[in-house]
Amino acid sequence: MERILFGDNQFFAVNHISDEKSRAQSIQFKDDKAILNTLDIAREAGINTFMCTTHDRISNICDTLRLDAGKYKDFTIFPCMPYAHKYANAVTELGITGTLKQYVPGNFFGSLFKGGVAYLSKDYLSIMELLVDAEMKMFKGLRTPIIFLQNVITDLLLGLGMIDILTAFHSYVEKKYNAEAGFITMNMPMLLQKLETAGIENPIICSSINLAGFRMSGGKELYESVLKTKKVRAIAMQVLGGGAIKPKDAIEYVCSLPNIESILFGASSKINITQTAGFIREFDEKYRTKK
Amino acid sequence: MTKVALIGAGKMGISHLSILGAHPDVEVTGVSDTSKMVLDVFKKYAAFPCFTDYEEMLAAANPDAVVVAVPTKFHASMVQKIMEQGKHVFAEKPLCMTVEEGKILVDLANKNKLVNQVGYHNKFLGTFREVKKLIDGNYLGELFHFDGASYGPVVIRPNQGNWRADPREGGGCLMDYASHVIDLINYLFGPVTKVRGSLLKSFYSKNVEDAVFSLLEVNPGLSGTLSVNWSDETFRKMSTSITVQGTKGKIICDANELKVYFKTSECPAGYEKGWNVKYLTELTSPVDFYLRGEEYSSQLDYFIKAVEGKVANTINTFQSAWDTDKVIALIRQSAAGSN
């Protein structure tokens, strides 16, 4: 994994602190060209990994990456699936069964539901695999060495105790895509403990890690102690606390922690991208000798 | 350990179940749902005892408390049965289909001295709580106008039928979406007493309204607008906001961001004259397990603590949800009157 990963929230109006800002971003990134330009700015700043959700519009971006394969030859994508709002809105509208009918590809479900109770004996993990395949379609031919499960699904399954589905995802992406599984979560210490118990060693876990302790369930101290004592390939996200922490302080905090392999951030403007990347390199230099 | 059972493993129910499953003081002793597929998944991959019949579950699981997340039309009968067995209840919103049904539940909860809570989760958001503090502290002076709004992408095309599209089951924008905003207005400004006029509009749905526009009055000096539309796809997810103006300033608040304007420097600690902006980041308390938003974990944690007797059962009681049901009824009456 590269030290710095570029995120995509800003492209899809995901702003955790301001609805106004989120609308402004939705206008700014209306055209795919604007997204591609921003990715180019990130590449110029030395960031060659794009961690993105499986939003419909990413599919257009992937088309460009394939067309201009020479230009993007060093470019790596970490897909994060699913784009949860697509499914959440569908469940509100169609119910759980209706949503599965809509999104599981082929006539798998069509034939299942005709039988009424025939699906009861089905293996639900194969449904999970079909959904993963549907989400992965848009990345065909691109380099996707790590495939992530979005936090809303990881955490939902974590709370329900359905760790078997997480481990099944882990082995499926390895088998089918020759990729490593990554898990995004808002509950890193709890997830790590459950994954370890299930036999997944040194997992890739992306979680909120920031100076403010924002979205660090169980508390900042617990996270710090896990990073110090456990085996985990940690990615820090929401390092700026949604923009509520001063960038320099925010980055210094994350760089000072042990065991954080990568830092994920997203930004819309050239100045913010180069500044944040600059801070990461500056503080990495400072803390390299101390660790 | 508090023994908790859940009825209704739909979208909200599954989310509640996950939060309960991760709660250190909770043992989930039963889950009931009518979907064989959902139960089958739980049986295969989770450790919760599963039931198709909720009454059978109540007998077998013997919970201390029950979370009810079924379509609204089932609330009255189910919650009544549960409380008659002396069990505490957390019910999804809105409380009931009618004011009469709600009254029975409020009375029964009081009579049997049971913890009773309804899932109006906005009250567990640090931002709206801060608004409540500022208003109760009288920092905005005399209030005269509010705007309560909520927009989101629930029905953005002519829809297929599920319970949210069926008025007999408690579907529609008024009960499903607007209830959140009405409840927040009641909480912040005191109950709405009069509805001066309302429009219930359908854009896509055949049998229910997709939008609610209303003029609400709390008292002769304080009134405002309600503007709710669940057919707005320019919002990625439900977005609820409250604006209120008083003699000393103004507040604009949504789930994530609080903007406060004070006319003078006579304001509480941490604020100054002119605009102040605060974010959820600094206003929210951390939770032990996070799923979809701190407020969902906080409200269930509060419920469990109330059952354990560690906190008073004062936020989102059946009584306050019933007050919201009453305003829903007033809005329906006023909309019918203006047709």
In this prediction, residues A250-272 reach a mean pLDDT of 96
- The rounded distance, in Å, linking the Cα atoms of B297 and B288 is 8
Q: How many CB pairs lie under 8 A apart between chains A and B?
A: 132
Q: Looking at the complex, does the CB of residue A109 fall below 8 Å from at least one CB of chain B?
A: no
Other CB atoms within 10 A of residue A134 CB: 16
- Chain B hits for A94, CB-CB cut-off 8 Å, are 160, 162
| The residue to which tokens 């034939």 are assigned | A111
User: What pTM value is reported for the model?
Assistant: 0.94
pLDDT of A111 > 50? The answer is no
Per mean pLDDT, which range of A46-60, A80-94, B42-56, B73-87 is the poorest?
A: A80-94
Cβ contact, residue pair B291, A97, below 8 Å: no
Interface list for B 32-51 with A (CB within 8 A): 35-38, 40-42, 44-48
Q: Looking at the complex, does the CB of residue A291 fall below 8 Å from at least one CB of chain B?
A: no
**How far is B53 from chain A, CA to nearest CA, in Å?**
18
Question: Looking at residue B160, what is its pLDDT?
Answer: 61
**How far is B45 from chain A, CA to nearest CA, in Å?**
5
Cβ contact, residue pair A160, B18, below 8 Å: yes
Which of B169, B236, B294 would best serve as a mutation to test chain A binding (most A beta carbons within 10 A)? Answer: B236
- Chain A hits for B20, CB-CB cut-off 8 Å, are 159
Q: How far is CA A28 from the centre of its chain?
A: 22
What stretches in chain B show pLDDT beneath 50? none
pLDDT band at A126 (very low <50, low <70, confident <90, very high): confident
Beta strand pairing status for B274-279 and B222-229? unpaired
- In 3-state terms, what secondary structure has residue A52? strand
Counting DSSP H helices and E strands in chain B, the numbers are: 11, 14
Nearest to B35 by CA among B17, B59, B10: B10
Q: How many residues does chain A have?
A: 291
pLDDT band at A122 (very low <50, low <70, confident <90, very high): low
User: pLDDT for A12-43, tens place per residue?
Assistant: 877 777 788 888 888 899 999 999 999 999 99
- The rounded distance, in Å, linking the Cα atoms of A120 and A123 is 8
In this prediction, residues A125-147 reach a mean pLDDT of 92
The residue of chain A nearest to residue B37, with distances taken between CA atoms, is A120
In this prediction, residues A74-91 reach a mean pLDDT of 84
Cβ contact, residue pair B11, A22, below 8 Å: no
Question: Looking at residue B285, what is its pLDDT?
Answer: 82
Which of B41, B290, B297, B298 would best serve as a mutation to test chain A binding (most A beta carbons within 10 A)? Answer: B290
Mean residue pLDDT across chain A? 89
